[in-house]
Chains A and B, each alone.
Chain A
Amino acid sequence: DTEVTQTPKHLVMGMTNKKSLKCEQHMGHRAMYWYKQKAKKPPELMFVYSYEKLSINESVPSRFSPECPNSSLLNLHLHALQPEDSALYLCASGDPGLAVVEQFFGPGTRLTVL
């Protein structure tokens, strides 16, 4: 299985809602990533988990809260978001034990904040 899956595909939420994005991979990868991508821009790294520990937080606002329950799952908890947080959220996974870490991307969750 060489796939990264993300749910839901689309999400619309109000600024007072709490929601979660989910990501799953079964490639045995021990690094998982969250990216945010605005229209016509490249993905921006938000968080990296390596061996289920948060390794990189790219100064992301606390209204985004990542969680890695096990080596196959990655969640992104959302609370009190702003309209400017509307974007495509991409999950990726990779093997941090290799010299070159190829990242495999999921299809993304399209988030709209009203």
Chain B
Amino acid sequence: AQSVTQLDSQVPVFEEAPVELRCNYSSSVSVYLFWYVQYPNQGLQLLLKYLSGSTLVKGINGFEAEFNKSQTSFHLRKPSVHISDTAEYFCAAQNRGTSYGKLTFGQGTILTVHP
């Protein structure tokens, strides 16, 4: 069975500091990996995705993530956060070859950026 674990439920950080949101996955088959952001009372917006190739993936809003197959991790990073990055972040996995692109989500990490 596939599972996604986000290791921190809440991450407080000061503005302009770096941040890392951690995600580990478990799957018996190869997966595609995604990070989504959800601002309060809004839908999910795709930040970035790993499909294949380079293990360092760059996304929108200055975020990047590194796929590590040996550690089955896909951690999200930003070198300098802004107040506007305050939101909930979801890591998700999709089995390669799955029907209909079913996503398995982690439990989410609430990032709070303080001035």
Tell me the A residues contacting B by CB distance below 8 Å: 4, 6, 31, 33, 40-43, 45, 48, 50, 55-56, 88, 90, 92, 94, 96, 99-108, 110
Contact = CB atoms under 8 A, between A and B. Distances in A.
Contacts of B32: 100
A23 to B, nearest CB: 11
A96 B44 contact: no
Contacts of B34: 102
Contacts, number: 68
Contact of B43 (A45, A50, A90): A90
Summarize B's interface: helix, strand, loop or mixed: mixed
| Interface size class, chain B | 20 to 34
B103 A103 contact: yes
Summarize A's interface: helix, strand, loop or mixed: strand
Given A100-B51, A108-B42, A108-B43, A42 B108 contact: yes
